[in-house]
Amino acid sequence: MASTTPCYRFNSALVRTPAASVVNGLRNLDAGDPNYEHLLAQHGAYLTTLAAAGVAVSVLPALAAFPDAVFVEDPALVFSEGAILLRPGASSRRGEAAALLPELHRRFDTVVILPPGGHADGGDVLVTPDAVLIGISARTNPTGARALVDCLDQLGYHGKIVQTPTGCLHLKSDCALLDEETVLVTHRLADTGIFKRFRRIVPPRDEAPAANAVRVNDVVLVSSRYLRTIDRLETAGFRTVPVDTTEIEKIDAGLSCMSLRWFRN
Ligand code: CIR
């Protein structure tokens, strides 16, 4: 793998302010629209948490035409070595990539563009020390995943295609890398065996969305609703920072998807 920096070491992040249209964001089950003011406040608290973890956060303006554009992790991947512009799998999200491209060029010398033909969402990509896992899902198809392996290769990373279980929106809806040898992973994803070489911390079944967490430097950002998962993480020696996610969870999101994070040498 290209970088020798730990996969959870970051000093730079890109986020996007949620537009008022975020209340129309995509969702699988309708648990009611998020409340815009609450969501905005929770997003603000997330930014504060990232900054407190040691990350310089750059904030992009809201994109009213794209309700899900706050989930900036999906249209791109970023590494110390460069960025990859993706092709989101949901038709309502395709234009997010074009809006992000100039911002990537502004920050990275190398920007590789996923070729037309397939689709891939950043939420389906988990960077681990020995491979970048790419989950096939309803948003990332095999053509997109294979093209992404080639794009990763151009940046010096080894991509490995895996299958996400049915019902899982994105690979990272169900997992987070905690350190070089440990993952937080739901029962259903752990059962596929893709993390068998890792030590696995599994949230209780009724706290499965807690797996959409993110390790940033010395802390794990985890949804504040899931107290037993927080306890399991703390007991295993991880320092957690609980973050309120009630509003974004209504549109199927968690903590990794609201930022693009990288380490700038
Ligand atoms: C969507 O369905 O695309 C958004 N409502 C949620 C995207 C969450 N992104 C992610 O988990 N990486």
Q: Whose CA is nearest to atom 8 of ligand 1?
A: 253
Which candidate in 158, 170, 175, 187 is catalytic? 170
Q: How many residues can be counted in the chain?
A: 265
Ligand 1 centroid to 24 CA: how many Å?
12
Residues 6+ apart with CB under 8 A from 102: none
pTM of the model: 0.97
Three-state SS at 251: coil
Q: Is 168 a catalytic residue?
A: no
CA pair distance 224, 214, nearest whole angstrom? 13
Angle at 224 between CA 32 and CA 227, to 5 degrees: 115
Domain ranges of the chain: 12-262
State CA 85 to chain mean position distance. 14
Cβ–Cβ under 8 Å, residues 57 and 255: no
Residues 6+ apart with CB under 8 A from 191: 165
Architecture of domain 12-262: 5-stranded Propeller (3.75)
CA pair distance 145, 204, nearest whole angstrom? 30
> What's residue 30's pLDDT?
84
Q: What is the pLDDT along the chain (265 residues), one digit of tens a residue?
A: 677 789 999 999 999 999 999 999 999 888 899 999 999 999 999 999 999 999 999 999 999 999 999 999 999 999 999 999 999 999 999 999 999 999 999 999 999 999 999 999 999 999 999 999 999 999 999 999 999 999 999 999 999 999 999 999 999 999 999 999 999 999 999 999 999 999 999 999 999 999 999 999 999 999 999 999 999 999 999 999 999 999 999 999 999 999 999 999 8
Ligand 1 centroid to 103 CA: how many Å?
20
Q: What is the largest distance, in Å, between two alpha-carbon atoms of the chain?
A: 46
Ligand 1 centroid to 252 CA: how many Å?
6
CA pair distance 169, 140, nearest whole angstrom? 10
Q: Is 257 a catalytic residue?
A: yes
Mutate which of 257, 258, 260 for ligand 1? The one with the most ligand atoms within 8 Å of its CB, which is: 257
Ligand 1 centroid to 249 CA: how many Å?
9
Distances (CA, A) of 191 to 94, 176, 241, 260: 32, 15, 27, 28
> What's residue 1's pLDDT?
66
CB of residue 120 inside a 6 A radius of ligand 1: no
> What's residue 265's pLDDT?
84
